[in-house]
Amino acid sequence: MAKTMAINAGSSSLKFQLIEMPQETVIAKGLVERIGLPDSIFKIEYGDDQEFKLVEDIPTHDRAVELLFQYLPELNILSDYHEITGVGHRVVAGGELFKESALVTDEVIQQVADLGEFAPLHNPAEAAVMRAFKERLPECTMAAVFDTSFHTTMPAENYLYSLPYEYYEQYGARKYGAHGTSHRYVARRAADIIGKPFDSLKIITCHLGNGASITAIKDGKSYDTSMGFTPLAGITMGTRTGDIDASLVAFLMSKLNITNVNDMIDILNKKSGMLGLSGVSSDMRDIEAAANSGNERAQLALEIYYNRVKKYIGQYVAAMDGVDAIVFTAGIGENSKETRQAVIDGLSFFGAKIDPERNNTRKEAIVSSDDSKIFVVNVPTNEEVEIAREVERLKK
């Protein structure tokens, strides 16, 4: 049996799952938090609800990988870490260079690092983790799975900004999107659930988490997506503004006496969105609870959120000249029946209808009513399984 490790490295974190393939059975999963900070946390869940937790300073991603290789055998999850036959690394930014997943080589690792200007919080860490794994498992099949690669099928009219064309030619100034691994996984699952060929459908996938994006998928390919050059664009998110007039940025910098544009970008990324609007939290559960208790700003934040999601769905229906299925996923999308209900109720013009009883779920399900003209499907995302599948595909 193949044992594949799916790795998701962030600037100060390392998530992982050990998956038995092709059964897609999760053997163990875990998280290393606060890398580079005091009292880092290393956790593994495995077996029959067993959990291992270690708190110590973990200064680098290399040390995090070292601990992972140490404890997988010590906890008898593996007899030896060389049982791992494949490793898949989630990479946020592949630019235009990587149109699909790629086998990890020294050259690919350097290219991922060089693309760090497109994802400075992620790509450098991802390159470091790839090096660490390659040193310890040099003969193992390793794949870099890019968030952006699914979106490289977008036509130019959807990925180009209305800027001087030479900015795209010289600097790569264009829409790249994100969450591609998740969008691809849930769209394929939705096609399976409704029993129709993936490459014959028009699907709109709504990845609604703290970070959120919406993608139009036409004939099995990404046609357009809401995130842009960076994940800051698109709908209102937990702490991100989503789409905003660029002139407003300059106006606010003047009013707030901000001279460093990175300080303003930090506000747009970390202090805005649902947090900034509600004044309560970036967590949808907290905002829903506050709204139910009569907090008017929390209620307004919810209305803005639903409004932005509906607007993107509407424009994608128009752009694709129709839609067969709308799919909800990620923390909010797959868990908040209230969000799904509010969004679909606002799309009745397109013939979309939700069944309240079916919608009362957090599992895979068709949640639309029998007389709905559009399938509405709830699909919990599983990016790790999609990453493992890519590893297996590249082994062949």
Catalytic site residue 147?
yes
Q: Which two tokens stand for residue 48?
A: 């029959």
Please, what is the Cα angle at 86 between 82 and 88, to 5 degrees? 130
Helix axes 106-114, 123-136, angle to 10 degrees: 160
Q: Which two tokens stand for residue 232?
A: 């800051």
CA distances from 27 to 64, 87, 96, 393 (A): 19, 14, 35, 20
CA distances from 365 to 118, 362, 386 (A): 36, 8, 19
Q: Which two tokens stand for residue 370?
A: 């029998």
106 contact partners, CB below 8 Å, separation of at least 6:
134
Please identify which of the residues 39, 48, 57, 147 carries the catalytic annotation.
147
Q: Using alpha carbons, select from 311, 313, 320 the residue that is nearest to residue 202.
A: 320
Q: Using alpha carbons, select from 295, 345, 319 the residue that is nearest to residue 222.
A: 319
Q: Provide the annotated active-site residues.
A: 147
